[in-house]
Amino acid sequence: MQISMQVPHDEKRLRRTLRFLLRPQLKLIRIMGGVLIVLGLVLVAMDPSDPIAYLAMILGLLFAVAVAPIAMAQSMRAQSDVIKDGFHVTLDDEWVTVVYPLAESRFRWAGLGRVVETPEVWYIMFGKYQAVTIPKGSMADEQRAEFAAFVDRLQHA
């Protein structure tokens, strides 16, 4: 396999990638928020004058509603300007090579953790938080089929 393509910067795709990577942690925070809300309601039912009950409900609401958008905004701001010019990706039988104008990364397929396919992209996971996003829209139909078959062989090897 030898696939090479230029991928323009896309802020929406970057946001979806960050959301994908942050989802497990944000889900846990939302669950904790729900638990705090329920705890606060139980405490209010037991003693309506207890300020801890109201604090638990307020914190629960913050965890359930506000933390995810704040984390996403902070993650977007934390991204390096290096990525804003887009990148060139080369996929071959041994390597994934991602080249930005000011940086380059290479990953051996042997280090692949998992591949998650969505309708728009493949997330090639080299660890829990290291993802290379391979957008399907930047590929020709034949390249998509070839890459899908390659990934399928990797995952079932």
Q: Where are the domains of the chain?
A: 2-9+83-155, 11-78
* pLDDT of res. 138: 87
* pLDDT of res. 22: 92
Instruction: Specify the amino acid at residue 45.
Output: A
Please tell me the pTM assigned to this model: 0.80
Residue 36's DSSP bridge partners are none
| pLDDT reading at 75 higher than 80 | yes
pLDDT band at 5 (very low <50, low <70, confident <90, very high): very high
CATH number of 2-9+83-155: 2.30.29.30
pLDDT band at 31 (very low <50, low <70, confident <90, very high): very high
| pLDDT reading at 157 higher than 80 | no
Mean pLDDT of 127-156: 91
